[in-house]
Chain A
Amino acid sequence: MNKIKAFSERNRKEILRDPLSYIFCLAFPLVMLIIMTIVDTSIPKEAVTVFHIDSLSAGVAVFGQTFVMLFTSLTVSKDRSGSFLVRMYASPMTSKDFTIGYILPMFIISTVQSIIIYIASFIISFITDVGLNIGGMLISLIALIPSSIMFIGFGLLFGTLFNEKSAPGICSIIISLGSFLGAIWFDADSIGGVMLKICKVLPFYYCTKSARSAIKLDFGADIFIIPIIIVIASAAVIGLLASLAFKSKMKADLS
């Protein structure tokens, strides 16, 4: 346990001391939250509901999680490309210690990020005079846990499989897919058709949908229960795949 704690602590410090992590993981989502709120106040209320703060906050929280994925992949791929992991492989650390040691600090960072985004959303809700339910926000924060693990899993997977030049590129694709096909910036259900079908193929749509429904205290089967089950299953699969990939790469490195 002390090994995991020590490695988590190292990873946390490495990320939090990189100014870029604040720009991407915090400043950028908050700027998007403000810009989209301004857009929302500039257009008729009924025109686009996705920019109302009760929808927007959950979308931006998922958007922020995609950047945590990026920094997870950067940390892992950078460690793998240098001699740092060689030193660690010669220590008594196991692949399980490494995997948990990478996931744990990223999960804490992701949770704090979501809390900050929700606090900002709460402040905005006062300014724009739109009510946000605190209970709904707290439940939504819990609903964001599986998506957080899923994105961190993606980061660990890409950081393990690709080098430090390729991994961020692959993550950029996921960030774009997550933003568009996660229906963060548009209402996929209103658009319907092929677009909605494509959105429903990938897990990102369900991440946004479950978090949004929770914030509105709407726990219907179609809009919360099924989406959250899909996200939990996706998180489990991606997390497991990432762990197996790391274990397999570690074994190959030591062969």
Chain B
Amino acid sequence: MNTIETKNLTKKYKDKTAVDSLNLTIKEGELFSLLGVNGAGKTTTIRMLACLSTPTSGEAFVNGNDCIKESGEVKKIIGISPQDTAVADNLTVRENLEFMAAIYYTDKEKIKERINKIESIFGLTEVENQRAKTLSGGWKRKLSIAMALISEPKVLFLDEPTLGLDVLARRELWRAIENLKGKMTIVLTTHYMEEAEHLSDRIAIMLSGKIVACGTLDEIEKAAGKEGKGLEEAFVTIAESGVSANE
């Protein structure tokens, strides 16, 4: 079953086309990476799927709900961790989670249960009384993703989740994301090849608003004629030749 589907999804800003006739299907429980250089259209795609931006043309569906006409329904089943860590700085880690939980739930027991569960998944218990502004970059990212997960979303959007993190913090966050695999559909944007290679079930390479390759790592390597050479080699070949290797 497809959780996300787009049909000729397009976003234009005046004379610049950020996303160009995107046709995409993402299966339930899949971790799907949108890979591309800066300005490729990854964040714009996520914004349209998360009802944060209205498409210029085309359609997008999340769990069968139209992202334009049924945005209210879509918002109930998605979670997003934006590129910058979107946390309330003067609130503690637990208060941030309580705040997000209270947006979705009214039952205090349910709120407590969700927070305890999320804190244990991300190991946030040890910093739960620390104010968000005093956390390191890695912890802030973890908190940001934890906040997106508090509502038990069916679809989680992670926009450049490890951007600016050191290698250890990045690896730790990868482990946290890996733990979520299969439990929900995850759409992740990144320009780190290693990240997409390590985490994804399928990868789409975006260039100038278009998907130029989409498939598993093996399929992308094969399409680029770089079997076993890794994603970076395949990406460079595809990007430089403009090879269209859509599934």
A: which residues have CB within 8 A of B?
2-3, 5-7, 9-10, 13-14, 17-18, 82-84, 86-87, 89-93, 253-255
Contacts and interface: CB of A to CB of B under 8 A. Distances in A.
Given A2-B103, A10-B99, A91-B75, A82 B53 contact: no
B54 A3 contact: no
Contact of B82 (A2, A3, A87): A87
Contacts of A87: 80-82, 86, 144, 147-148
Interface in B125-184: 131, 144, 147-148, 151
Given A6-B103, A14-B90, 13 more contacts: A2-B102, A2-B103, A6-B102, A7-B99, A13-B88, A17-B131, A83-B84, A84-B87, A86-B80, A87-B147, A91-B151, A254-B54, A255-B54
B76 interface: yes
B75 A84 contact: no
A148 B106 CA distance: 31
A13 B90 contact: yes
> Secondary structure at chain A's binding surface: helix, strand, loop or mixed?
helix
A7 B91 CA distance: 12
Size range of the chain B interface in the assembly? 35 or more
Nearest to B47: A86
Interface in B57-115: 72, 75-76, 78-91, 95, 99-100, 102-106
B52 A90 contact: yes
B50 interface: yes
4 cross-chain pairs, A with B, having the tightest CB-CB distances, nearest first: A6-B102, A83-B86, A83-B82, A87-B86
B51 interface: yes
